[in-house]
Amino acid sequence: MKDLNEILGMASRVQEELQRAQDSLDKLEVEGAAGGGLVKVRASAKGRILGVSIDDTLMSPSEKPILEDLITAAFNDARKKADEISNAEMSKMTAGLPLPPGFKLPF
């Protein structure tokens, strides 16, 4: 069995790597779109919403229900892309760690 100090040191390094990975995810941007690009949502890979863009053609009262649906769809598209990038980045970070199958980080 490894020395306790060595195990604690390894845990500390993993925690630092996780923090760096989380910080980098907030700098990666994704764009969700709906309605053929009429509504766009920019988000960080951590899911923080950075901006919303709505085409002027949707700015009439009669288009309100469609606009609401498109905004929801664009948010969901951005969230899906953010999750994909986040999972890919975390997989890169944990590639060398001896983790049991199905174990996910962060906890």
pTM of the model: 0.61
Q: Identify the pLDDT of residue 107.
A: 44
Q: CB neighbours of 41 closer than 8 A, spacing ≥ 6? A: 31, 32, 33, 49, 51, 52, 53, 71, 74, 75, 77, 78
Write out the chain's pLDDT in tens, 107 residues: 567 777 777 778 878 877 787 778 788 888 999 999 999 999 888 888 888 999 998 889 998 899 999 999 999 999 899 888 888 877 777 666 666 666 555 54
* CATH match for 4-93 among 3.30.1310.10, 3.40.228.10, 3.40.630.30, 3.20.20.105: 3.30.1310.10
Domain ranges of the chain: 4-93
Tokens representing 103 are 């174990």
Burial string for 69-79 (b: 16+ CB within 10 Å, else e) reads ebbebbbebbb
